[in-house]
Chains A and B, each alone.
Chain A
Amino acid sequence: DAKTTQPTSMDCAEGRAANLPCNHSTISGNEYVYWYRQIHSQGPQYIIHGLKNNETNEMASLIITEDRKSSTLILPHATLRDTAVYYCIAPNQAGTALIFGKGTTLSVSS
Chain B
Amino acid sequence: DTGVSQNPRHKITKRGQNVTFRCDPISEHNRLYWYRQTLGQGPEFLTYFQNEAQLEKSRLLSDRFSAERPKGSFSTLEIQRTEQGDSAMYLCASTRWGLAGSETQYFGPGTRLLVL
Contact = CB atoms under 8 A, between A and B. Distances in A.
Interface residues of B, number: 24
A46 B104 contact: yes
Contact of B42 (A94, A97, A102): A102
Contact of A100 (B4, B42, B101): B42
B91 interface: yes
A51 interface: yes
A48 B16 CA distance: 41
Interface string B46-79: 0010000001101000000000000000000000
B45 A32 contact: no
A96 B106 contact: no
Interface in B83-104: 91, 93, 101-102, 104
B25 interface: no
Nearest to B110: A43
Interface in B29-51: 33, 40-45, 48
Interface in A23-48: 32, 34, 36, 41-46
Given A87-B42, A96-B56, A42 B102 contact: no
Contacts, number: 52
Given A43-B91, A44-B91, A92 B106 contact: no
Interface in A1-36: 2, 32, 34, 36
A49 B104 contact: yes
B89 to A, nearest CB: 8
A60 interface: no
Given A49-B102, A97-B56, A92 B45 contact: yes
A103 B56 contact: no
A68 to B, nearest CB: 14
B106 A42 contact: no
A101 B45 CA distance: 12
A59 interface: no
Nearest to A36: B107
Interface of A: 2, 32, 34, 36, 41-46, 49, 51, 85, 87, 92, 94, 96-103
